Amino acid sequence: MATSRQKDRIPVPRGILAAVVAVVVLPSITLVTLGLRLLEQDRSLEQRRQTELAEASLERAISALQKDLAETQRRLSLGNAWPEPELAPDAVLLRRGTGRFLYLPEPPVPPEAANEPFADADRAEFQAGDPAQALALCLPLAKSTQDTVRAGALLRIARLHRKLGSLDDALEAWRLLVAIDTVAIAGEPAGLMARRARCRALEQAGRRRELEQEARQLLRELQATRWPLRQDAYLDAVEQGRRWAGVDLAAPPEMEKQAEALQILWGRRRAEEGGLCASGFTLIWHGDEALLAGPRFLARYWETPHGVQLTCEGKLPAAGLTRQPALTGLPWSITAPLDAGPLPEFSTRRTVLMAALTAMLILIAAVAYFAWRAITRELGISRLQSDFVAAVSHEFRTPLTTLRQFGEMLAEEPDLPAETRLSYYKAQARATDRLSRLVETLLDFGRMEAGRRPYQLEPVDAAALTREVTAEFTNEPMARGFLIECLTPGRPLLVDADREALGRAIWNLLHNAVKYSGNHREVRIEVAAIPSGVCIRVVDHGLGIPLPEQARLFEKFVRGESVRRLGIPGTGIGLAMVRHIAEAHGGHVEVESTVGEGSTFSLVLPGRG
């Protein structure tokens, strides 16, 4: 059953096509270009704003850090201003003679062990070659209250015992010497010198276990920073200790790093006061006072605004806006990131812009779509109208030709027999009749279209009316040779209808059934009561209608493509009138059709009350 609408496939002239494309494409391109340019401008504006913000946060960070640096230097000038817990875990205060460094760039030099009190003993040992005498001279001085004298005595006692072959006594003297931290022997802390001497003696004596213990003790004392040492002295002692101990007793890496950083930074220290950073450690000094601070100490006590990064010299600063130490007087390069994400005001603006752009594009597309639809529809209608004009002209031409031909024949041959003359007159009357029916139909359709066709509804017996119209139609010349069967119930089927209009609708359906029957010469018309009212059905077994065409048949001027090709004349208003009339009666018309099998048109009218 035909319900859908078929799309009009009317070729659109190229000019119109080009105009529509121009109307759609040009503004769209312009709009997109402008939009993109605007977005680009907005983005560069945002970048500038981000740079400004980064600069501001950089300036804030620099002044905060400069304040912290000045404060640190002030505290350094006060001496030991940080209690140990405040420095933990990765800061060390560097003071002469103290500190927790494995080695120092400039260790304090303790006083040398005394020599003068041992002039006699040394003479006895070296000139007289009498170690026992020398030992006797030294022993009393080992009890001196002065560290320098005691150290000088123990040093000699140990040596003399060795010469006299008493290793254990020598070891004991060195053991006592180890306890003296405040004296140097030939620049080396006395304690360290004594430990190493004990190790060496034990090694020579082949006393391995004691040697290992002694060497481990030496390494432990080195790690505990018992003696302030230079880097080379420390490394030398550690290396020797490890060899003797036969183990790799390493110092905590944090301490190694601290000592190394201090070594590097101390050498580079220039002005009276200032700061330097290397290997992750920052050295801040004021005169001889200095603080070596690791990253954790800085993070805890120094105020760095969010996002700003500090980079030590020699390392590549993070991406962003960077100030070098030379410009700021700070120990680090300071970087503020530039890509802190989109700024809210800009992203809102961009969203609005994008939305507006999209809305405009949608609008253009919608306008284009509707314009396109209107154009194609107009083109369709104009084609239908021109088809209609051609069809109507053709319909008029046939009877007019008949009239003219018979008129001429009657005029040219006055002696025609009366019978022939009568048949000519009859032919002329039929042509006139056809003409007037055509004119009537057109005028009627015009009135219907304009809404000026008045419908006078009255109770009408649809069955009786159908019989009358069918009888009248059967007498028409076009129905000649057709078997037209009319099936109606014996009782009246009343509907509220305009007799003339309903009669015309039935006539049109019969007319089409005959016109499109092809070689089949049987048509049936039946009237039946249905639940919603009355149904008048016209059935033929003719050409049938392709499904895609069915949907539009009831529109004015629309004709089937196949019938047009077959040259069957028509104006395309018959079914439009049927639909008009059906709807004016509160009913409708339907079609069921199969190509080559025939069609059934059903006119459904509401029953009375």
Nearest residue (CB) to ligand ADP, 228 versus 560: 560
Checking DSSP bridges between strand 494-497 and strand 533-540, what pairing results, if any? unpaired
| Tokens standing for residue 325 | 């130490």
* Secondary structure class of 317 (helix, strand, coil): coil
| Tokens standing for residue 593 | 């059709």
The rounded distance, in Å, linking the Cα atoms of 381 and 358 is 34
The rounded distance, in Å, linking the Cα atoms of 190 and 110 is 9
Nearest residue (CB) to ligand ADP, 288 versus 597: 597
**Closest listed residue to residue 158, CA positions, set 138, 186, 130:** 138
Binding positions for ligand ADP, 5-34, rule CB under 6 A: none
Rg (CA), the chain: 61
From the CB of 366, what's the least distance to ligand ADP, in Å?
Answer: 34
**E-strand spans in 146-245?**
184-185, 188-189
From the CB of 494, what's the least distance to ligand ADP, in Å?
Answer: 27
Binding positions for ligand ADP, 483-542, rule CB under 6 A: 512-513, 516, 540, 542
DSSP 348-414: HHHHHHHHHHHHHHHHHHHHHHHHHHHHHHHHHHHHHHHHHHHHHHHHHHHHHHHHHHHHHHHHH-T
Is the Cβ–Cβ distance between 517 and 482 less than 8 Å? yes
The rounded distance, in Å, linking the Cα atoms of 180 and 173 is 12
Pick one of 202, 229, 262, 553: the residue that binds ligand ADP (CB under 6 A): 553
If phi > 0 it is left, if psi is from -120 to 50 it is alpha, else beta; for residue 372 that is alpha
- What phi and psi values does residue 290 have, to the nearest 5 degrees? -150, 155
The rounded distance, in Å, linking the Cα atoms of 430 and 153 is 163
Binding window for ligand ADP (CB under 6 A); candidates: 177-185, 230-238, 249-257, 559-567:
559-567
Nearest residue (CB) to ligand ADP, 177 versus 469: 469
263 forms part of the interface with ligand ADP (CB under 6 A): no
Nearest residue (CB) to ligand ADP, 315 versus 394: 394
Nearest residue (CB) to ligand ADP, 544 versus 587: 544
From the CB of 363, what's the least distance to ligand ADP, in Å?
Answer: 39
DSSP 225-271: T-S---HHHHHHHHHHHHHHHTS--PPPHHHHHHHHHHHHHHHH--S
Burial track 183-210 (b if 16+ CB lie within 10 A, e otherwise): bbbeebbbbbbbbbbbbebbbeeeeeee
- What phi and psi values does residue 496 have, to the nearest 5 degrees? -85, 115
From the CB of 392, what's the least distance to ligand ADP, in Å?
Answer: 10
Pick one of 183, 201, 575, 584: the residue that binds ligand ADP (CB under 6 A): 575
| Tokens standing for residue 120 | 């006699």
From the CB of 16, what's the least distance to ligand ADP, in Å?
Answer: 28
From the CB of 592, what's the least distance to ligand ADP, in Å?
Answer: 11
Nearest residue (CB) to ligand ADP, 317 versus 546: 546
Nearest residue (CB) to ligand ADP, 69 versus 505: 505
- The count of chain residues that interact with ligand ADP, using the rule CB under 6 A, is 19
Binding positions for ligand ADP, 379-408, rule CB under 6 A: none
Is the Cβ–Cβ distance between 457 and 608 less than 8 Å? no
**Closest listed residue to residue 66, CA positions, set 338, 310, 336, 314:** 310
Binding window for ligand ADP (CB under 6 A); candidates: 217-225, 254-262, 289-297, 565-573:
565-573
563 forms part of the interface with ligand ADP (CB under 6 A): yes
Binding positions for ligand ADP, 410-449, rule CB under 6 A: none
Q: Which helix (H) or strand (E) holds 551?
A: none
From the CB of 432, what's the least distance to ligand ADP, in Å?
Answer: 21
599 forms part of the interface with ligand ADP (CB under 6 A): yes
Pick one of 198, 559, 580, 585: the residue that binds ligand ADP (CB under 6 A): 559
550 forms part of the interface with ligand ADP (CB under 6 A): no
From the CB of 435, what's the least distance to ligand ADP, in Å?
Answer: 16
* Secondary structure class of 141 (helix, strand, coil): helix
State the binding string over 303-322 for ligand ADP (x if CB under 6 A, else -). Answer: --------------------
Binding window for ligand ADP (CB under 6 A); candidates: 51-59, 97-105, 165-173, 556-564:
556-564
Nearest residue (CB) to ligand ADP, 291 versus 553: 553
Pick one of 572, 579, 589, 603: the residue that binds ligand ADP (CB under 6 A): 572
Binding window for ligand ADP (CB under 6 A); candidates: 321-329, 442-450, 563-571, 582-590:
563-571
From the CB of 540, what's the least distance to ligand ADP, in Å?
Answer: 5
Nearest residue (CB) to ligand ADP, 434 versus 559: 559
* Binding interface with ligand ADP (CB under 6 A): 512-513, 516, 540, 542-543, 545, 553, 559-560, 563, 570-576, 599
